[in-house]
């Protein structure tokens, strides 16, 4: 398939892996930021194609995974109300809160609906003025523009029965928090290409300079990731810390100015708690005061709901690159994609879910245990 197969070419992948092996003279730990990248790495065995000097660790870049447990409980509390129509993308419906998930709530009669765009929820509010329509607005900078557009549109149309439960998170403060943690192991980042398609690359320059850390904005296909690793390793070996753009086919340095203006108009920066990681200052977005009439957290007074994670879960250490999913005693036992206990098992993009889906129950002991999904052009 054009625009896909050329980024999954087996011989080209092996050439890039060989170039990484030639470039690496000592061990380096590199974190891919985004859950989509983690999924590709595990699915195609990219990490196992690389030389042993290069360790890839999996960052907190899955939006469903990092949505705080209390946010799920707040969604649950709002969706339980008989006067509410609660709208969400499908991937949030199966995320368990303290009292079950939204799908279970729907099976008990709550008006919970899957939408394919935030604007669908706005249109629902217009069509049903007797219902309080609430949209669950989560994610990184990538989903912030359409979610901002929904709130902006509801205000413009004076739809007082539309609100958003907002729990957006921002990538650069998370990267800074990881780098400044006393137990940090990350020496280079593969930046999330789609986030930079919206926000551009300038936010990463001060992080790269201050921490002397390579940040290579990278795409999501196998060759993107291998090229991202190669560029990162070359910088590390040369003692450099700069921002590079591997994903130039989608990312411009200035990002998408119209989307950035919309985010700026509707949202303001706030502190945010990340599931599995904890609170990070100035790492979230919330609605500005001008849009408070559409802020579900204020309208339904759910801000006080607090919860805590199961003690057995080590997803915080997985998300900081300190442990791998199969190091967790609950992995594949009490905790599976059907019965997730923690952040990184709740969505298919989470590291624990990816390891579970592709049979990574332990580190490989023999070459026979290195199954890769065939890349295009590679021998089956």
Minimal distance in Å, beta carbon 337 to ligand SF4? 10
Q: Which helix (H) or strand (E) holds 136?
A: strand 132-139
Q: Which of 246, 283, 344, 347 binds ligand SF4 (CB under 6 A)?
A: 344
Positive/negative CA dihedral, 82, 86, 92, 97:
negative
Binding mask 317-336 for ligand SF4 (x = CB under 6 A): -x------x--x-xx---x-
Contacts of 221 (CB under 8 A, 6+ apart): 4, 7, 8, 40
Is 352 a residue that touches ligand SF4 (CB under 6 A)? yes
315 is a site residue for ligand SF4 (CB under 6 A): yes
Q: Which stretch binds ligand SF4 (CB under 6 A): 100-108, 180-188, 266-274, 307-315?
A: 307-315
Is 314 a residue that touches ligand SF4 (CB under 6 A)? yes
Taking the CA atoms of residue 79, residue 81, residue 82 and residue 83 in that order, the dihedral angle to the nearest 10 degrees is -90
Bridge partners of 136, per DSSP, are: 165
Stretch that binds ligand SF4, among 25-33, 108-116, 229-237, 341-349 (CB under 6 A): 341-349
Residue 72 binds ligand SF4 (CB under 6 A) = no
Please count the residues of this chain forming the interface with ligand SF4, following the rule CB under 6 A: 15
**Would you count residue 302 as binding ligand SF4 (CB under 6 A)?**
no
Q: Where are the alpha helices (DSSP H) in the chain?
A: 10-23, 35-44, 46-49, 63-66, 69-79, 102-107, 118-127, 144-156, 171-180, 193-199, 205-211, 222-238, 257-266, 296-299, 315-319, 351-357
Q: What separation in angstroms does the CA of 274 have from each of 64, 328, 346, 350? A: 11, 20, 14, 14
What token pair was written down for 71? 């946010």
- Minimum distance from residue 62 beta carbon to ligand SF4 (Å): 11
Q: Which is nearer to ligand SF4, 211 or 356 (CB)?
A: 356
Element spanning 30, H or E: strand 28-32
The answer to whether 216 contacts ligand SF4 (rule: CB under 6 A) is no
> Which range of residues in 28-36, 53-61, 204-212, 337-345 is near ligand SF4 by CB under 6 A?
337-345
Residue 345 within binding range of ligand SF4, rule CB under 6 A? yes
> Considering only residues 265-294, where is the footprint of ligand SF4 by CB under 6 A?
none
Cα dihedral sign for 185, 190, 196, 200? positive
Residues between 110 and 129 that touch ligand SF4 (CB under 6 A): none
Q: How far apart are CA 70 and CA 61, in angstroms?
A: 19
Point out which residues bind ligand SF4 (CB under 6 A): 312-315, 318, 325, 328, 330-331, 335, 341-342, 344-345, 352
């Amino acid at each position: 398939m054009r625009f896909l197969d050329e980024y999954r070419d087996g011989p080209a992948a092996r050439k890039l892996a060989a170039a990484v092996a030639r470039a690496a003279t000592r061990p380096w730990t590199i974190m891919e930021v985004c859950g989509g990248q983690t999924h590709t790495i595990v699915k195609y065995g990219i990490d196992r194609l690389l030389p042993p000097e290069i360790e890839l660790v999996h960052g907190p870049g899955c939006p469903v995974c990092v949505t705080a447990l209390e946010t799920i409980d707040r969604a649950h509390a709002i969706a339980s109300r008989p006067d509410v129509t609660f709208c969400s993308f499908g991937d949030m419906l199966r995320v368990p809160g303290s009292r079950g998930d939204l799908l279970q709530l729907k099976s008990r009669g709550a008006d919970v609906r899957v939408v394919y765009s935030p604007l669908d929820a706005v249109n629902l509010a217009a069509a049903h003025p007797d219902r309080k329509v609430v949209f669950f607005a989560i994610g990184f900078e990538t989903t912030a523009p359409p979610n901002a557009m929904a709130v902006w549109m509801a205000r413009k149309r004076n739809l007082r029965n539309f609100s958003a439960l907002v729990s957006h998170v921002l990538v650069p403060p998370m990267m800074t928090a990881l780098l400044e943690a006393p137990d940090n192991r990350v020496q280079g980042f593969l930046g999330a290409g789609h986030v930079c398609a919206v926000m551009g690359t300038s936010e990463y320059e001060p992080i790269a300079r201050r921490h002397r850390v390579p940040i290579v904005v990278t795409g999501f296909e196998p060759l993107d990731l291998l090229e991202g690793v190669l560029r990162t390793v070359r910088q590390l070996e040369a003692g450099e810390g700069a921002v590079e753009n591997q994903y130039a086919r989608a990312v411009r340095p200035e990002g998408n100015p119209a989307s950035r203006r919309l985010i700026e108009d509707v949202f303001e920066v706030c502190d945010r708690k990340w599931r599995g990681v904890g609170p990070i200052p100035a790492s979230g977005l919330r609605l500005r005061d001008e849009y408070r009439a559409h802020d579900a957290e204020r309208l339904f007074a759910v801000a006080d709901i607090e919860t805590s994670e199961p003690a057995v879960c080590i997803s915080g250490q997985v998300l900081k690159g300190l442990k791998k999913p199969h190091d967790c005693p609950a992995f594949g036992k009490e905790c599976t994609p059907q019965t997730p206990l923690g952040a990184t098992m709740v969505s298919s993009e989470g590291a624990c879910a990816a390891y579970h889906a592709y049979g990574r129950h332990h580190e490989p002991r023999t070459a026979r245990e290195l199954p890769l999904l065939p890349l295009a052009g590679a021998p089956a």
